[in-house]
Structure 1
Amino acid sequence: MKSHSSTLLAEVRSFRQNHPDVRYVDLIALDIPGHFYGKRYPVEMLEKVAAGSPLKLPQNAVLLGAQGGLFKIGDYCFNDGDPDANRRLVPGTLKPVSWEAQPLGQMLITSDGTEAPIEFEPREVLAKVLERLQHKGIHPVVAFELEFYLFDKKLDNGLPQFARDPLSDDADDQPNLHIERLSRFSEVLDDMAQTAKAQGIDITVITAEIGPGQFEINFGHCDDGLRAADWAALFCRSTRGVALKHGYRASFMAKPYMQFPGSGMHVHVSLYDAAGNNLLAAHQQQALRHAVAGCLELLPHCMPIFSPNHNAFRRLGGTVNAATRASWGFEDRDACVRIPESDPRNLRIEHRLASADANPYLVLAAILAGLEHGLEAKREPIAPLNEDRSSGADFPVEMLDAVRAMQQQPIVRDKLGAEFVDVYCENKRQDHLAFQQEINAREYRWFL
């Protein structure tokens, strides 16, 4: 513990020396819906925390709904006295914030690794899955890919407007994959990339996607699952900030336009043993087939994680490369679980179902739980789409059905934690019911 504190203290002191104009640091963590919460600390107080002073925030901040409200979930929130819970600083995440008007820093905090971790904190859920896999000699290597849209900064009666082409000032309303779009929006995209790198995020490829103003960012493969998910979470935060600075609005909303493709979170996962051997390639890729079978078996029971809100379910089906059933295939982007072409050393799955606004810690935890279950059960998967285009298993496409399917699945409860599953499902159920309480303009047009 002393060595750990000295490392953190050195990190804070180095940051203060390199950024003497920074007076405050945002200490942030991701809640269940995937929003950051936290506190803004004077940098001199941060040094005390790094030296060992307690860092406490309300436990129930993790339970906030999509709009920031609290729901009654068991005894949490209203019958527990709203207790504080210990958090710790995540080493290596103290970085400058360049998109704010005033000099600022930010640093991740978490309850995992404390004496009493919060069982339903997303990062803690993933930490437990990774720890269990490590004890079994399984070491994941992970890479996220995130799609997002750029909109005009100003909304039109609450609706998004197409991003303005900076060269012509015309609306970028033509869906395409043209490389010229990267050039036209190079100023904001380059700033997003450089800002992400300054946050310690290993971003690689930038792609202009099919939707108007839609882009995709790929991250480097990482042998630390927590850090890979940290990168995805932090990238969303910095990208929104940089976009606003340039007069745009960046959104990871799953389906902003009905007529254009939605935005997904694709996750590449390979599994290695302690000697560096690819476990999925073992026995002529038999382990790969078992892992795929496990992923597909649990997928219908993890839909509230992969599609975490009403809008995310709109993304499924109806447009290019969006699966409507739990399926798999080799080099097939219509599949939920795609096997990219690679050599045995780099053999991996690409899980393509999650929406871009899903919680990256929980998405990765659910994927790894499926892979783990498959390796244990050793079952054969259904036929790949390459052999049968109709192959696939149904999954829920409505939130309340999805919540019931998740809450009642014993393997999911065991792999992700029963307390987490109950809390998460009730949070999603309450969020969905709250969303349904508002009557929109279309409803009046149809039924008034």
Structure 2
Amino acid sequence: MNDGSLTTDLADEVDTFLKTHPETEAVDAFIIDVNGNALGKRLPASHLRSLVRNGVQFSACAPILDCRGLGHNPAGLGGEDGDPDGTAMPVPGTLAPVPWAARPTAQLLCAMGEAGTGAPLWHDPRAILADIVARCRADGLFPVVACELEFTLLEAARTPDGGIAPAALPRTGQRPRAEANLSVEAVEEHAGFLGRITDAARAQGLPLAGAVAEYGLGQFEVNLDHVADPMAAADQAALLRRLVRGVARAQGQEATFMSKPFADQPGNGFHIHVSLVDAQGRNRFSQPGGETLLRQAVAGMQALMLDSVALLAPNFNAHRRYLGLFVPTSRAWGHNNRSVAFRIPAAGGEARRVEHRVAGAEASPHLVMAAVLAAVHHGVTRELEPMAPIVGDAGTRRDPAFPDGLLAALSRLERSRRLAEYFPRRFLAAYTASKRGEYADLIAQVFPREYDFYL
């Protein structure tokens, strides 16, 4: 269980919060699962003090459930084990208001642990990331990271055939007909929505760094500031996804981080920027020897990329994104080049970094962060050397070994000896079993278009 000082800190946090927000009626206490989704319970605000002392109990298999919150008995979890409860313990510093909620509500991020002891569960993505961050730091590697997430704003109502449509423009009430990449006018068109995201992020203490219009119809990118705590960065990315969806629903629309919501439009990506700092917080990539260190980090990303695809693209739809523009399917890297998997942005000095561009926006922020940092550690500690950097368009290059779809990616992940040095082997087995079960349920029904092909 948490030690006394931690409990005291949380109790003080609750007291301060309730003094500031005395109108609070309920609190959402949740974990973040392998899909990046929030799973947990809504409790009366009067339970907050008990919650920080004792946590909240619900199914211990929750972290490994599929995208719908359903179980497939991976590694016996949630089935053969009798589906026991675990104890979700609050994460200090995450108690915050939920500005988009219909009634005054708070939220509290938790970490799933064993019932009774509170020991971290081996299948909790936060526990896996924590172990990899600790390993990096033990070897003198201190990552500073920033997350970028793309999403698409949609109409809430489905089309007659069950499809989706981009959200109508507030000014005209009509759906957008043309792309508006980097358009300031497109940002202003949705200023009310984006402003509500900014206000909610400020209320929740999320370091939002801005928003831009992207290539797709109704597509935007939201960025978070660089932070020296990768766990906090992954938490913030997951909470930002929840925030964006919540704000959209509060105004009668939907926001999706689905990797490829429209076949003829660009997909949604999740990019992570990484640098390494020294004990004084100075960027080691810009110090003497920094170019060698950066190259080693890139080489590690190249070495682990193909084995990690099932973590970076965790479902059937996510693999559609790899057919699109500026979506890397090779291990190419380069300077100031958005067509590569691992981009070195034009910024220099303290801003020198690597941008990992492979993941889809719906992937687990904690597992993607874990995969990226494992790759950096792998490359630096083994002093690997990357392939030659690419000049020009790498977007049409596909690595012959790039997994051909979800099932191939899952098989490669499950067999990976390199990733098993960082991720528990039993987690890789449980994750792949859960994702295979999700895929089997998806294709169990006939798709309408199959009739056009095979009737």
| TM norm structure 2 | 0.94
Match of 2:108 in 1: 107
Match of 1:241 in 2: 246
Once the two structures are TM-superposed, the CA of residue 112 in structure 1 deviates from its matched residue by 6.6
| Counterpart among 28, 39, 50 of residue 26 in structure 1 | 28
- Counterpart residue identity of residue 9, structure 1: A
Match of 2:153 in 1: 150
Match of 1:411 in 2: 418
Q: Counterpart of 2:83 in 1: which secondary structure? A: coil
| Counterpart among 393, 398, 404 of residue 397 in structure 1 | 404
1:159 paired with 2:166, answer: no
1:201 paired with 2:206, answer: yes
Tell me, in whole angstroms, the C-alpha distance in 2 between the residues paired with 1:210 and 1:387: 20
Residues 132-161 of structure 1: per-residue CA shift (max 9 Å, x gap): 112122111110001111111211132111
Higher mean C-alpha displacement, 106-115 vs 188-197: 106-115
Match of 1:297 in 2: 303
Q: Counterpart of 2:106 in 1: which secondary structure? A: strand
1:428 paired with 2:435, answer: yes
Higher mean C-alpha displacement, 202-211 vs 54-63: 54-63
- Counterpart residue identity of residue 311, structure 1: N
Residues 21-75 of structure 1: per-residue CA shift (max 9 Å, x gap): 212101011112222110112222220232x335332211122112222102222
Once the two structures are TM-superposed, the CA of residue 391 in structure 1 deviates from its matched residue by 7.2
1:320 paired with 2:325, answer: yes
Tell me, in whole angstroms, the C-alpha distance in 2 between the residues paired with 1:320 and 1:445: 27
| Counterpart among 261, 283, 291 of residue 285 in structure 1 | 291
The runs of 5 or more residues in structure 1 that have no matched partner are none
Match of 1:169 in 2: 173
- Counterpart residue identity of residue 441, structure 1: P
Tell me, in whole angstroms, the C-alpha distance in 1 between the residues paired with 2:106 and 2:118: 27
Q: Would you say how many aligned residue pairs link Structure 1 and Structure 2?
A: 446
Higher mean C-alpha displacement, 342-351 vs 222-231: 342-351
Q: Counterpart of 1:303 in 2: which secondary structure? A: helix
- Counterpart residue identity of residue 412, structure 1: L
Once the two structures are TM-superposed, the CA of residue 334 in structure 1 deviates from its matched residue by 0.6
The runs of 5 or more residues in structure 2 that have no matched partner are none
CA RMSD of aligned residues (A): 1.8
Once the two structures are TM-superposed, the CA of residue 273 in structure 1 deviates from its matched residue by 2.6
Tell me, in whole angstroms, the C-alpha distance in 2 between the residues paired with 1:145 and 1:263: 10
Tell me, in whole angstroms, the C-alpha distance in 1 between the residues paired with 2:167 and 2:410: 35
Tell me, in whole angstroms, the C-alpha distance in 2 between the residues paired with 1:375 and 1:152: 46
Once the two structures are TM-superposed, the CA of residue 397 in structure 1 deviates from its matched residue by 3.1
Higher mean C-alpha displacement, 280-289 vs 411-420: 280-289
| TM norm structure 1 | 0.95
Q: Counterpart of 1:332 in 2: which secondary structure? A: coil
Higher mean C-alpha displacement, 328-337 vs 33-42: 33-42
Judge conservation of contact 1:141–1:224 (CA < 8 Å) in 2.
yes
Higher mean C-alpha displacement, 20-29 vs 366-375: 20-29
Residues 251-302 of structure 1: per-residue CA shift (max 9 Å, x gap): 1111111111101001101112323343344525111111111111111001
Match of 2:15 in 1: 13
- Counterpart residue identity of residue 257, structure 1: F
Match of 1:118 in 2: 121
Once the two structures are TM-superposed, the CA of residue 388 in structure 1 deviates from its matched residue by 8.9
Tell me, in whole angstroms, the C-alpha distance in 1 between the residues paired with 2:329 and 2:54: 50
- Counterpart residue identity of residue 96, structure 1: P
Tell me, in whole angstroms, the C-alpha distance in 2 between the residues paired with 1:75 and 1:247: 40
Tell me, in whole angstroms, the C-alpha distance in 2 between the residues paired with 1:214 and 1:387: 26
